[in-house]
Amino acid sequence: MVRVVDINCDMGESFGRYTLGQDGLIVKFISSANVACGFHAGDPIVMDETVRLVAENGIGCGAHPGFPDLLGFGRREMMLSSREIRASVIYQLGALSGFAGRYGIRLQHVKPHGALYNMAARDYRVARAVAEAVACFDHRLILLCPAGSEMARAGREVGLCSASEVFADRAYESDGTLVRRSEPGSVIDHPDEVAERVLGIVMHGRVRTRDGGELKVSPDSICIHGDTPGAPALAERIRKVLLDFGVSVEPLGGFLRC
């Protein structure tokens, strides 16, 4: 049984006049935030307001860099060179770090977004470019990624502390990858089902797959997506069920030792 775990959520994904997610509500129930850095979502004003919200609530502030794809919300794969990936990640970390400094905090972790996350999880070249960018920017940053992934391997090789992430609101394939969002049932938004999944994750170290099987997991952090329907209620339910079963909820930087 896991005794302490982080709850993370993607935040700051509004843009200009368009609002996405309910950051002001969900921030009360999570312990770490992955803040969009302007490439797949977010803009300077949104980034500033989101980091302020994170700082005021005393939770871990993480960067959520993605591909430069506002139209596709960073969920479309892009064939960038390793040099382009490294430069784009460093660029985004630098932007968010500036806002963090404005509010007297530092970045805790980095979690790639969408297609960049999925590609780095399976493609070592992409994973290595991401890990090198993070290590170059600040070797103290925690790399949030799937356990056993190419991203976790690359992180270890460059000397980063890697944290294992499990998704509460996304369905898994038997190989450990997430079910594509275009597939029915890929997003799980019923509070009872999410609560049951979280209990399986933290109490028994396993998560159910789409085909009815199970995957072994060792979670450091449980993710809830900010754009999942009813995300604040799901986050509240997750936090309550964890506390009810004696599991402490803390930011990654408060308990992770690498």
Indicate the pTM of the whole model: 0.94
Give tens-digit pLDDT for 173-193: 878 778 888 888 788 888 888
Which CATH topology does 4-255 take?
TIM Barrel (3.20.20)
Q: What is the reported pLDDT for 82?
A: 98
What residue spans define the domains of the chain?
Answer: 4-255
Of the pLDDT bands very low, low, confident and very high (cuts 50, 70, 90), residue 166 is very high
Using CB atoms within 10 Å of the CB of residue 79, give its burial: 0 to 12 exposed, 13 to 18 middle, 19+ buried.
exposed
Cα dihedral 209, 212, 214, 219 sign: positive
pLDDT tier for residue 125 given thresholds of 50, 70 and 90:
very high
Tell me the C-alpha distance between 138 and 247, whole Å.
30
Tens digit of each residue's pLDDT (9 = 90 or more) over 51-91: 999 999 999 999 999 999 999 999 999 999 999 999 999 99
Q: Is the predicted pLDDT of residue 2 greater than 80, yes or no?
A: no
